[in-house]
């Protein structure tokens, strides 16, 4: 079982490491957001000079400046964007007949699923670290805004930050993996991604404070898994003052989303990996039936 | 008609039955509820003995791939039984998967990986790793003449190399039974003939049993010990290539005569070993048991009758003719490439008819 799963993960890793375009393109948009959008769109500069910094910090849930607030949102955004590619591999494997070959071996279906979730989950988590690292680094570059963290951040806070990033990655990796298991063609997969990407991001608190939104939007934002993860991360870095609920509530909500998406992925994976109905090969007949 | 139970007919001795198929039927669910499903395999029986290369010959859509998919546990049959080495493919698919190797129609190797990496990963899927496996992989690559390309990416491989790698992938866990689904599809005739040699060498060195599907008649003819001809989901004939060809009545001698020569039909019919004689223009088609020995007699008889023979060709029966005979329709091998059997097909009289 471990050897099977290791083999599958090794295969994914080798494929990934040899397609550098994917590696770079996954990181490009969060980096651009940090370097361009985050630098340009500094809400703090809109505050009249007479107003003290405490007012802004309060509006930004304790973050010392807008960039710090925004950078944490970008950590989540980077993971979610990376997760959107999670389902592509399985579609190519289906189209190229590689999945059929794997299924004709004694490898267990559970290994196939777990290997995908593990490897893709790690790929999804990586950009989060890159974004954190870059944002922290920018604080030391003259004339650029960067992520400034409160001095009271301890190991437990770091663990909370990491846990939030991890659970968020698992949740969205599972969600997009399930689309991959369900979709027959890459076009329909990217169709779904395109439809989902902006609504998921824009109904979260990744880029702007919740309390300036209209009430109806606040309800949506409150339950968005990105918001829940971002709340946990911001609490860990900037303190939990001003949040209506303790961190445990947000964590529970995030875990619930992750559980839901993992279940969805398991159901759709077991459907895609079943071999009692799917014809092998690619004869005209089996293609006609599979469509 | 479909079963060939006499052990004496198996050319390589009465080995044990390793693939046993009875009453196999596959109906795909209908696209719309309420409409009848597609019958892909319509109740077939056959068995394959240890060491045989058994061919499944038929046009696209005949049910070949469906049958292979069922036997390799990728598809659950609607009805019937199939056993591989005595193991029920429906009840114990996991056990069956360990016993068989599968070579797909299309290349299923990872393009961005090297040949060796592909094999190592496939071995891992069978739980195999370590030095012994690495050695076996090197051996396999060498046997497939891929040693020089072992550490190159598959995307740089030619079509023939990909097919050989696919064969190695199917053999990496040392199965005793190999299933090949259209293994030479898309290869040119030279590449195909080359591929056959690799299969034959595997049979000689590893004693494998192979069940292969093909829609190339010459492939079935040259490579297979026995052939099941399948059309519309039914096995319409089963036997050795020779038996199948004999069933359409031996050789054909084509004799061309000068225009306006006197009728030779009664004369030819009277010769020993001659069956039906048909005349098309100035060409006679003479069915006979042994074409070569008939040529001098036919020439002599015609000469004595004062008719000059301008040409004579002996045609051996082909599976094309078997197919035509059995199904009433010409073989419709719908290939991605211009099918070579069309070029080889001797069904069209080559001699001008002066119509």
pLDDT in tens, chain B (355 residues): 444 444 333 444 558 999 999 999 999 887 777 778 889 999 999 999 999 999 998 887 888 889 999 999 988 899 999 999 999 999 999 999 999 999 988 889 999 999 999 999 999 999 998 999 999 999 999 988 999 999 999 999 998 899 899 999 999 999 999 999 888 887 888 888 888 888 888 888 888 999 999 888 788 888 999 999 988 899 988 999 888 887 777 788 888 888 877 888 888 888 888 888 888 888 888 888 888 888 888 888 888 888 888 888 888 877 777 777 777 666 654 433 333 333 333 333 333 333 3
Look at chain A and report how many structural domains it folds into: 1
pLDDT of residue B329: 66
Q: How far is A43 from chain B (nearest CA, A)?
A: 46
Between CA B248 and CA B327 the distance in angstroms is: 12
Tell me, yes or no, whether B191 and B277 share the same domain: no
d(C-alpha B332, C-alpha A136), whole Å: 68
Measured CA to CA in angstroms, residue B218 lies from B65, B221, B341 at distances of: 19, 5, 7
Query: Are B214 and B258 part of one and the same domain?
Result: no
Helix (H) / strand (E) containing B318: none
Please check whether residue B300 lies inside any domain of the structure: yes
d(CA B56, CA B76): 19
Contact A276 B113 (CB under 8 A): no
CB contact under 8 A, A19 and B106: no
Do A12 and A98 meet the contact criterion of CB atoms below 8 Å apart? no
Is B332 inside any structural domain? no
Q: Which of B65, B113, B129 sits opposite A281 (nearest CB)?
A: B65
Q: How far apart are CA A269 and CA A264, in angstroms?
A: 8
**Residues of chain B contacting residue A6, judged by C-beta atoms under 8 Å apart:** 124
φ and ψ of B252, to 5 deg: -125, 130
Query: Is there a single domain that holds both residue B255 and residue B237?
Result: no
Whole-number Å distance between alpha carbons of B57 and B48: 15
Chain A residues near residue B76 by CB distance under 8 angstroms: 275-277
Of A177, A162, A168, A172, residue with least CA distance to A114? A177
Strand order in the sheet with B283-288: B274-280, B283-288, B251-257, B309-315
Both B36 and B94 in one domain: the answer is yes
Contacting residues for A3 by C-beta, under 8 A, at least 6 apart: B124, B127, B128, B129
**A104: chain B residues, CB-CB within 8 Å:** 72-74, 97, 102
How many distinct structural domains can be found in chain B? 2
Contact B74 A101 (CB under 8 A): no
Q: Where are the beta strands (DSSP E) in chain A?
A: none
Contacts with B96 from chain A: Cβ below 8 Å = none
Question: Phi/psi of residue B251, each to 5°?
Answer: -80, 165
Residues B281 and B188 in one domain: no
Q: What is the mean pLDDT of each run of 10 residues along chain A (291 residues)?
A: 89 88 78 89 78 78 88 92 91 89 90 93 91 92 86 89 96 96 92 91 89 90 95 92 91 97 94 64 40 35
Beta bridge partners of B210: B53, B178
Residues of A in Cβ contact (< 8 Å) with B69: 279-281, 286
CATH of the domain at B307: 3.30.70.100
Contact A280 B181 (CB under 8 A): yes
Q: Residues in chain A whose beta carbon is closer than 8 A to a beta carbon of chain B?
A: 3-4, 6-8, 10-11, 14-15, 18-19, 96-98, 100-107, 275-286, 289
Question: Does B68 sit within 8 Å of A7, measured CB to CB?
Answer: no
Same domain for B167 and B119, yes or no, is yes
Residues of B with CB under 8 A from a CB of A: 28-29, 31, 38, 40, 60-61, 64-66, 68-69, 72-76, 93-94, 97-98, 102, 104-106, 108, 110, 112-113, 117, 120-129, 153, 169, 181-182
Length of chain A: 291
Model confidence, pTM:
0.79
Residue B56 contacts residue B219 (beta carbons within 8 Å): no
By CA distance, what is A94's nearest residue in B? B108
Question: Is residue B221 located within the same domain as residue B256?
Answer: no
Q: In this structure, what DSSP letter does residue B9 have?
A: G
Per DSSP, the three-state class of B236 is strand
Question: Could you tell me if B162 and B240 lie in one domain?
Answer: yes
Q: Which domain holds residue B186?
A: 7-245
Nearest-neighbour CA in chain A from B236: distance (Å): 20
**CB contact burial A133-166 (16+ within 10 A = b; e otherwise):** ebbeebbeeeeebbbbbeeeeeeebeebbbbbbb
Chain B hits for A11, Cβ within 8 Å:
110, 113, 121
CB B110 to CB A15 under 8 A? yes
**Nearest alpha-carbon partner for A33 in A174, A118, A127:** A127
B197 and B279 inside one domain: no
The DSSP code sequence of A4-21 is HHHHHHHHHHHHHHT-HH
Q: What is the pLDDT of residues A206-242, one digit of tens each?
A: 988 888 889 999 999 999 999 999 999 999 999 888 8
- B138 burial class (0-12, 13-18, 19+ CB within 10 angstroms)? middle
* Domain end point (choices B214, B245, B276): B245
Question: Which residue of chain A is at minimal alpha-carbon distance from B30?
Answer: A289
Same domain membership, residue B155 and residue B24: yes
Q: Contact at 8 Å (CB) between B166 and B104?
A: yes
For B104, name the nearest residue in chain A, comparing CA atoms only. Answer: A281
- Chain A nearest CA to B170, separation (Å): 9
Residues of A in contact with B98 (CB under 8 A): 106
Contact B104 A102 (CB under 8 A): no
Non-local (6+) Cβ contacts of A152 within 8 A are A239
Q: What residue numbers bound the domain in which A52 lies?
A: 2-290
Look at residues B213, B230, B245 and tell me which one is the last residue of a structural domain: B245
**Starting from the edge strand earliest in sequence, which strands make up the sheet with B100-103, in order?**
B100-103, B177-181, B209-214, B53-57, B226-231, B234-239
By the 8 A CB rule, do A234 and A72 touch? Answer: yes
Nearest by Cα to B252 from B219, B296, B291, B213: B291
Q: Is residue B295 part of a domain?
A: yes
Say if the Cβ atoms of B127 and A4 lie within 8 Å: yes
ipTM of predicted complex: 0.83
Among chain B residues, CA nearest to A103: B74
SS3 A268: helix
Residue finishing a domain among B205, B224, B245? B245
A244 Cα distance to chain centroid: 24
- Number of Cβ pairs < 8 A linking chain A and chain B: 125
Q: B74 and A280 in contact by Cβ < 8 A? A: yes
Residue A7's region, left for phi above 0, alpha for psi from -120 to 50, else beta, is: alpha
Residue B155: CB atoms within 10 A of its CB come to: 12
Shortest distance between the Cα of A111 and any Cα of chain B, in A, equals 10
Same domain, B194 and B261: no
Query: How far A92 CA lies from chain B's nearest CA (Å)?
Result: 11
Residue B95: closest C-alpha in chain A = A106
* Distant-in-sequence, close-in-space partners of A54: CB < 8 Å, separation ≥ 6: none
- What's the first-to-final CA gap in chain A, in angstroms? 32
Q: Is residue B62 part of a domain?
A: yes
* Same domain, residue pair B202 and B253: no
> How would you class A230 by CB atoms within 10 Å of its CB: exposed for 0-12, middle for 13-18, buried for 19 or more?
buried
Residue B128's domain is classified under what CATH number?
3.40.50.300
């Amino acid at each position: 079982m471990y050897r099977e799963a290791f083999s599958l993960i090794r295969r994914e890793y080798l494929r990934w490491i040899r397609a550098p375009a994917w590696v770079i393109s996954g990181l490009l948009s969060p980096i651009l957001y940090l370097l361009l959008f985050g630098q340009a769109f500094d809400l703090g500069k809109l505050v009249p000079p007479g107003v003290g910094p405490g007012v802004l910090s309060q509006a930004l849930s304790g973050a010392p400046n807008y960039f710090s607030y925004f950078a944490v949102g970008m950590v989540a955004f980077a993971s979610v964007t990376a997760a959107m590619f999670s389902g592509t591999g399985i579609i190519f494997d289906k189209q190229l007949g590689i999945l059929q070959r794997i299924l004709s071996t004694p490898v267990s279906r559970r290994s196939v699923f777990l290997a995908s979730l593990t490897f893709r989950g790690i790929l999804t988590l990586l950009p989060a670290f890159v974004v954190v690292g870059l944002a922290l680094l920018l604080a030391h570059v003259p004339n650029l805004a960067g992520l400034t963290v409160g001095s009271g951040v301890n190991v437990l806070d770091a663990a909370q930050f990491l846990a939030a990033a991890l659970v968020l990655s698992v949740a969205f990796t599972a969600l997009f993996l399930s689309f991959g298991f369900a979709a027959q063609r890459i076009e329909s997969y990217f169709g779904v991604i395109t439809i989902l990407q902006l609504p998921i991001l824009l109904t979260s608190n990744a880029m702007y404070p919740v309390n300036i939104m209209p009430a109806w939007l606040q309800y949506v934002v409150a339950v968005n898994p990105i918001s829940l993860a971002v709340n946990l991360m911001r609490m860990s870095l900037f303190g939990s003052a001003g949040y209506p609920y303790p961190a445990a509530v947000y964590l529970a909500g995030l875990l619930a989303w992750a559980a839901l998406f993992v279940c969805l992925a398991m159901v759709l994976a077991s459907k895609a990996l079943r071999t009692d109905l799917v014809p092998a090969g690619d004869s005209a007949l089996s293609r006609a039936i599979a469509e | 008609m479909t079963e060939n139970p006499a052990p004496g007919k198996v050319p390589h001795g009465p080995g044990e039955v390793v693939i046993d198929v009875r009453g196999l039927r596959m109906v795909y669910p209908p696209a719309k509820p309420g409409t009848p499903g597609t019958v892909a395999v319509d109740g077939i029986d056959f068995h394959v003995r240890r060491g045989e290369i058994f061919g499944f010959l038929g046009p696209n859509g005949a049910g070949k791939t469906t049958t292979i998919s069922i036997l390799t546990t990728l598809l659950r049959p609607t009805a019937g039984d199939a056993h591989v080495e005595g193991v029920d493919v429906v009840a114990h698919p996991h056990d069956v998967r360990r016993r068989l190797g599968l070579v797909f129609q299309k290349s299923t190797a990872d393009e961005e990986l090297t040949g060796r990496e592909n094999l190592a990963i496939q071995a891992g899927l069978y739980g195999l790793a370590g030095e012994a496996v690495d050695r076996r992989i090197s051996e396999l690559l060498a046997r497939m003449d891929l040693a020089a390309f072992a550490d190159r990416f598959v995307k740089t491989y030619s079509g023939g190399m990909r097919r050989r790698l696919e064969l190695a992938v199917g053999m990496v866990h040392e199965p005793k039974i190999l299933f090949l689904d259209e293994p030479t599809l898309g290869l040119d005739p030279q590449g195909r003939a080359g591929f056959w040699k690799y299969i034959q060498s595997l049979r000689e060195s590893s004693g494998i049993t192979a069940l292969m599907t093909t829609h190339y008649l010459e492939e079935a003819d040259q490579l297979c010990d026995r052939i099941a001809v399948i059309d519309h989901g039914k096995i319409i004939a089963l036997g050795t290539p020779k038996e199948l060809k004999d069933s359409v009545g031996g050789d054909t001698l084509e004799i061309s005569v000068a225009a306006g020569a006197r009728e030779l039909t009664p004369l030819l019919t009277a010769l020993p070993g001659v069956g039906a004689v048909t005349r098309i223009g100035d060409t006679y088609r003479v069915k006979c048991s042994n074409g070569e020995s008939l040529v001098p007699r036919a020439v002599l008889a015609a000469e004595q009758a004062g008719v000059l023979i301008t040409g004579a060709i002996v045609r051996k029966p082909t599976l094309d003719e078997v197919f035509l005979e059995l199904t009433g329709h010409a073989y419709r091998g719908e290939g991605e490439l211009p099918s070579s059997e069309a070029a080889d097909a001797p069904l069209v009289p080559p001699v001008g008819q002066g119509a």
